[in-house]
C-alpha cells in the first residue's frame, strides 16, 4: 500500500470495486451538492501558523467520553464492509485497534458486532444505532453492543427517511448481493430489514437513556437549536454530521456549521464532526474551531477496498502523519493548543 494520499487510495479502490458498489460508497443524495461542499469548505479555510514556539514533542491523543484515541481521527460508522473486502468489518476493526483509535461499528455492518469485537481484541468500539420502532428489538441491539464491549451508543438522528441517492437508484442497488446480510439484524431465522423511523423524537432519547448506562452520542446534528436540545436531553456528545451528503442534499458543509454549534454547546459537551475530512490540515481546522475529534467515512472504505486491513491501516497512518506534520508546522505541541486564531477565511 505505497500510496501517498487518500486520493490515491480512492483511485485504487475505484479500480477494484464493482461500479455499483463504488457508487454506493462514493455517492450522495440529489445533486451531491453537500458531498462536494464538505470537502470544498475545508479547502476554503486557511491555516495561519505561529513560529518560534519551541513546541517540542507532539501529543495527538484525545480522551473522548470513556475512551481514548491516539489520534483525533475516528472511524465513522459505514455499512456493508464485506462489499469492499472478504474480512469486512473485522479488517477495519483490526486496523483501528492497531492505530489506537475508535471504530464506530455501524448497525448495518455485515459482520455481527460480537464478531467484530472478537476479531480485534483491544479495539475501542462504539456502536451506531438506528432506533427501531420495535423498542424491544432496539433494546436487544443495545444489549448486544454492551456485551460486545462497545463504550458508547451513537444514535443517528439525520435519517427519518433514507436520502434519495441517484447513483444507487441508477444501479438498482437495493439489496446486498450473494449471502451478505446485516448481521446485527438477525432475529431467530430471519434478518430484519432496517427501518428508518420517521416518528423518532426527543422523547425516545429518554427511553434510550433508561435502557443503557452507555454514553449517548447524537450523530447528525446540524442546527444549533438541536445541539442545545441534545445537551438538555442528556446526550453525552454530539456529532455534527450531514451523513457525508447522503441524506438531505444542500445542507451546508459540516466545517461551516461547526462554529455556531460550538458557540451554542461547546461548554456543555464534546462536539465531534465528520464529512469531507481528507487531510491532516482538515483535522487541525476542525479541532481549531472547537471539535473534540473528527471521523472519516469514505476514506476508510477506500482503504479497505484497496488493501483490506493494511489499506485501512495505511489511510489511518497517512492521516496521523499529516496531523503530526501540520501540528508541528503550526507551532503546536498538542491538539489542546489549537484554537480559532489558527484559522482564517480568506476573502
Ligand atoms: C457507504 C457509506 C455508508 C454509511 N453508513 C452509515 C451507517 O450505517 N450509519 C451511519 O450513521 N452513517 C453512515 N454513513 C455516514 C458516515 O457515518 C459519515 O457520516 C460520513 O461518511 C462522513 O463523511 P465522509 O465520508 O466524507 O468522511 C455512511 C457513509 C457512507 C459513505
Ligand atoms: C440501511 C443502511 C443505511 C446505511 C447508511 O446510513 C448509508 O448508506 O448512508
For residue 48, what is the DSSP state? -
Annotation-wise, does 285 bind a ligand? no
Cβ 297 under 6 angstroms from ligand 1: yes
Q: From the CB of residue 174, how many other CB atoms can be counted at a distance below 10 Å?
A: 7
Q: 275 alpha carbon to ligand 1 midpoint, in Å?
A: 8
Q: Is the pLDDT of residue 331 over 80?
A: yes
Per-residue pLDDT, averaged over 177-206, amounts to 95
38 pLDDT band (50/70/90 cuts)?
very high
Distances (CA, A) of 269 to 103, 166, 315, 334: 20, 36, 29, 20
Quick one: which atom of ligand 1 is closest to the CA of 219?
A: 11
Convert the pLDDT of each residue in 44-89 to its tens digit: 999 999 999 998 899 999 999 999 999 999 999 999 999 999 999 9
Q: Dihedral sign for Cα 158, 335, 116, 16, please.
A: positive
Ligand number nearest to the C-alpha of 155: 1
Q: How far is the CA of 105 from the centre of ligand 1 (A)?
A: 11
What's the pLDDT tens digit per position in 285-305?
999 999 999 999 999 999 999
* Domain-wise residue ranges, the chain: 6-333
Pocket probe mutation, ligand 2, options 26, 28, 78, 196, max atoms within 8 Å of Cβ: 78
Residue 53 assigned to a binding site: no
Containing 162, the helix (H) or strand (E) segment is none
Q: Please tell me the least confidently modeled range out of 6-10, 137-141, 177-181.
A: 177-181
- Residue 243: active-site member: yes
Letter string b/e over residues 258-285, b meaning 16 or more CB atoms within 10 A of that residue's CB? beebbebbbeebbbbbbbbbbbbbbbbb
Mean of the per-residue pLDDT values of the chain:
97
Which tens digit of pLDDT belongs to each residue from 90-134?
999 999 999 999 999 999 999 999 999 999 999 999 999 999 999
For the record, the C-alpha cell of 166 comes out as: 441517484
CA nearest ligand 1 atom 7, residue: 78
DSSP-based three-state secondary structure for 70: coil
Distance CA 22, CA 15 (A): 9
Query: 347 pLDDT exceeds 70?
Result: no
Strands (E), 33-118: 46-47, 62-64, 67-69, 73-75, 102-105
Q: How far is CA 272 from each of CA 199, 304, 334, rounded to the nearest angstrom?
A: 25, 23, 18
Q: What pLDDT score was predicted for residue 174? A: 82
**Cα gap 34→160, rounded to integer Å:** 18
pLDDT at 1 over 70: no
Question: What is the C-alpha to C-alpha distance for residues 266 and 273, in angstroms, rounded to an integer?
Answer: 13
Atom of ligand 1 nearest to the CA of 154: 11
Whole-number pLDDT of residue 318: 98
Indicate whether residue 156 lines ligand 1 (CB < 6 A). Answer: yes
Overall average pLDDT of the 6-17 stretch: 98
Are 38 and 242 in contact by the 8 Å Cβ rule? The answer is yes
Confidence at residue 254, expressed as pLDDT on a 0 to 100 scale: 98
Take atom 30 of ligand 1 and give the residue whose Cα is closest. 78
Q: Is 14 annotated as belonging to a binding site?
A: no
In ligand 1, which atom is closest to the CA atom of 159? 11
Distance CA 11, CA 104 (A): 25
Separation of CA 79 and ligand 2 centre (Å): 6
Reply yes or no on whether the pLDDT at 3 is more than 90. Answer: no
Task: Give the integer Cα–Cα distance in Å for 240 and 251.
Answer: 12
Work out the percent of the chain whose per-residue pLDDT is above 90: 96
CATH (one of 1.10.760.10, 3.20.20.70, 3.40.50.970, 3.30.1950.10) for 6-333: 3.20.20.70
Ligand 1 pocket member 264 (CB < 6 A)? no
237 forms bridges with which residues in the sheet?
A: 217
pTM for the structure as a whole: 0.98
Shortest-distance atom of ligand 2 to CA 246: 9
pLDDT band, very low/low/confident/very high, at 178 (cuts 50, 70, 90): confident
Cα of 27 from ligand 2 centre, angstroms: 11
Percent of the chain with pLDDT over 70: 99
Of 11-15, 55-59, 132-136, 160-164, the least confident: 55-59
322: pLDDT strictly greater than 90: yes
What's the CA gap between 195 and 184, in Å, rounded?
Answer: 13
Q: Which ligand is nearest to the CA of 219?
A: 1
Amino acid at each position: 500500500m505505497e500510496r501517498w494520499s487518500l486520493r490515491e487510495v480512492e483511485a485504487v479502490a475505484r479500480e477494484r470495486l464493482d461500479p455499483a458498489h463504488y457508487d454506493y460508497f462514493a455517492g450522495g443524495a440529489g445533486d451531491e451538492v453537500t458531498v462536494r461542499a464538505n470537502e470544498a469548505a475545508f479547502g476554503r479555510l486557511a491555516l495561519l501558523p505561529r513560529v518560534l514556539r519551541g513546541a517540542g514533542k507532539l501529543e495527538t491523543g484525545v480522551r473522548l467520553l470513556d475512551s481514548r484515541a491516539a489520534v483525533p481521527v475516528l472511524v465513522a460508522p459505514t455499512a456493508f464492509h464485506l462489499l469492499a473486502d472478504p474480512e469486512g468489518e473485522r479488517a477495519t476493526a483490526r486496523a483501528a485497534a492497531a492505530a489506537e483509535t475508535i471504530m464506530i461499528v455501524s448497525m448495518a455492518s455485515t459482520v455481527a458486532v460480537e464478531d467484530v469485537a472478537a476479531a480485534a481484541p483491544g479495539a475501542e468500539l462504539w456502536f451506531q444505532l438506528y432506533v427501531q420502532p420495535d423498542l424491544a428489538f432496539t433494546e436487544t441491539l443495545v444489549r448486544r453492543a454492551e456485551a460486545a464491549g462497545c463504550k458508547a451508543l451513537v444514535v443517528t438522528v439525520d435519517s427519518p427517511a433514507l436520502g434519495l441517492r441517484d447513483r444507487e437508484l441508477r444501479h438498482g442497488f437495493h439489496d446486498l448481493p450473494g449471502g451478505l446480510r446485516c448481521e446485527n439484524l438477525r432475529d431467530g431465522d430471519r434478518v430484519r430489514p432496517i427501518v428508518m423511523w420517521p416518528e423518532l423524537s426527543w422523547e425516545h432519547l429518554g427511553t434510550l437513556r433508561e435502557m443503557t448506562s452507555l454514553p449517548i452520542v447524537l450523530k447528525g446534528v446540524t442546527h444549533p437549536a438541536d445541539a442545545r436540545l441534545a445537551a438538555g436531553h442528556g446526550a453525552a456528545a454530539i456529532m455534527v454530521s450531514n451523513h457525508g451528503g447522503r441524506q438531505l442534499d444542500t445542507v451546508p458543509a459540516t466545517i461551516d456549521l461547526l462554529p455556531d454549534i460550538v458557540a451554542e454547546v461547546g461548554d456543555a459537551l464534546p462536539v465531534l464532526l465528520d464529512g469531507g475530512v481528507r487531510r491532516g490540515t482538515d483535522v487541525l481546522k476542525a479541532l481549531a474551531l472547537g471539535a473534540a475529534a473528527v471521523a472519516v467515512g469514505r476514506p476508510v472504505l477506500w482503504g479497505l477496498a484497496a488493501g483490506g486491513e493494511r489499506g485501512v491501516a495505511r489511510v489511518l497512518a497517512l492521516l496521523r502523519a499529516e496531523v503530526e506534520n501540520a501540528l508541528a508546522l503550526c507551532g503546536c505541541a498538542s491538539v489542546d493548543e489549537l484554537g480559532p486564531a489558527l484559522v482564517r477565511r480568506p476573502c
